[in-house]
Structure 1
Amino acid sequence: MYRLIDRAVPTPDAATLLRWAAVVNAEILVTLAYVVLSPNTPTDPLIYVYPWVWVNVAVWGVLRVRPTPTSRRARWAAAIVGVAYFLLVGYAGGLYHLSGAGLGFSTHWLPPGWGPTPVYSASAFTLVLMPFKVVGYVALAYLVSVTVRDASASALSGLVGLVSCVSCTWPVLATLATGLFGSASALSSIAMTRAYGVSTVVFVVSVIALTWRPTR
């Protein structure tokens, strides 16, 4: 799928570029359809870009890695680390809270990637499954799990992934808090996206660090 230059920097072949071009074109069409059909559209175009960057980079990273063959015990240990990592970053990133208002289930139709967002609020917990966050955190957890299986992996890579989640916690929580209580202006909180610019850059660096790992 990739050929290597100087055994380090991967470059995609023509077929891979064509597949990714088709994916990006489809994402653009979906976004344009939302802009045309939705009565409430954010004015900042970057709002539409960030989720697709997360999704595309996450998919690229997962497809790029190949887990190191290890013992069954090592695979189980890596899986446990991956699940624990997902629970940690999911909590930091606002996918779930250990509190709730008991409002039940609802769906919030935010821009593509941000939504549709299923929200379930019980008395003891709340789930807010923002699509690009779910994809991004699952990818990071998987890549950390693969890193655990790789004897030459750098532990710093996982820490960088955690930073990407913590750095975007407050805008995620602000966005979802308005939607959780049924605010008609849920999109207004998405305007606070400057932190997402930083966290998106760190997320991309995290995935690259966990997949390329040139020090191997």
Structure 2
Amino acid sequence: MATATALPRPSRSSLLRAAFAVNTTLILAFVYLLFTDASVGAPRYAIYGVTWVVVGLWVLFDTRVPTASTETKRRAAAIALGYFALLAVAGGLVTAPVPGGTEGLRVAFLPPGWGPALVYGGDLFNLILMPARVIGYAALAFLVYDTVVEAAGAAVSGLVGLFSCVSCSWPILTSLATSVFGSGTALALTVTTFSYDLSTLVFLVTVVLLRWRPGFGK
């Protein structure tokens, strides 16, 4: 399988889609702040949240999956869904119930990108659906889907290649490492001093590597 050896020059259509993602996210963030009680908080956290959404939308709208058989696409989809599930658990979208925590469904007006977050507390599990994480993890899973389709191998070999790829494992390992030191509350976003910085850096590097895919399949 041929793999890229250099970062490709973005096409005009790709730049237009990136501009669309930026403009749409900024407009939605402005409307969100205007009509809710949400605040920006520390500026860098709001920037990180918006960055996750912008990059995630760009990936989802700009990635062109190569043609492949239906069977290959099904196997790739299964691997991508499994990857998203791992990210969801490691990244805190799905957590274990907290004793004494708030039950039921509610909306948390967090800073732009992280909010509005749909939060559900139940007896079996909690859900913390922040736009930045949901869109960002969906983008990574879609890039994994694209990678496996391009590899056009069997499901087993694709899965082995996926998790031997360090860039694919970084978001999971980083989320697990930061959550060890994070808060145990339902709205914890792996709250450590630099967890936002680290997770955003890992997310961006992973997007670049999965789009570029140096050495994958060699």
Same fold (TM > 0.5): yes
Q: What is the aligned partner in structure 1 of residue 10 from structure 2?
A: 12
Deviation at 1:39, TM superposition (A): 6.0
Q: Kindly provide the amino acid, as one letter, of the partner of residue 112 in structure 1.
A: P
Report the CA distance between 1:75 and its aligned residue: 1.6
Give the TM-score of the pair, scaled to structure 1: 0.74
Which SS does the other structure have where 2:71 is aligned? helix
Aligned AA (1:167)? T
Change (3 A) 1:136 1:158: farther
Structure 1 stretch 94-103 or stretch 189-198: which is displaced more? 189-198
Inter-partner Cα distance in structure 2 for 1:178 and 1:40: 18
Any residues of structure 2 matched to 1:81-160 within 5 Å, and which? Answer: 81-99=79-97, 101=101, 103-151=103-151, 155=162, 159-160=166-167
Q: Percent identical across equivalent pairs?
A: 33
TM superposition shift of 1:82: 0.9
Greater relative contact order: 1 or 2 (C-alpha under 8 angstroms, separation 6 or more)?
Answer: 2
Task: Evaluate the alpha carbon distance shift between residue 158 and residue 102 of structure 1 in structure 2; reply closer, same or farther with a 3 A threshold.
Answer: farther
SS at match of 1:11: coil
Displacement, 1:122? 1.4
Alpha carbons 1:97, 1:126 under 8 Å: kept = yes
For structure 1, list consecutive stretches of 5 or more residues without a partner in the other structure.
1-5, 181-188
Higher mean alpha-carbon deviation, 84-93 vs 98-107, is at 98-107
Q: Which amino acid aligns with 1:197?
A: D
The Cα of 1:179 is off from its aligned counterpart by: 3.8
Counterpart for residue 46 of structure 1: 44
5+ residue gaps, structure 2: 153-157
Counterpart residue number, 1:195: 195
- Structure 2 length normalisation: TM-score? 0.73
User: Larger deviation: 39-48 or 130-139?
Assistant: 39-48
Contact 1:158 1:210 in 2 (8 A): no
Name the residue aligned to 1:161.
168
Structure 2 partner of 1:177: 185
CA-atom RMSD, angstroms? Answer: 3.5
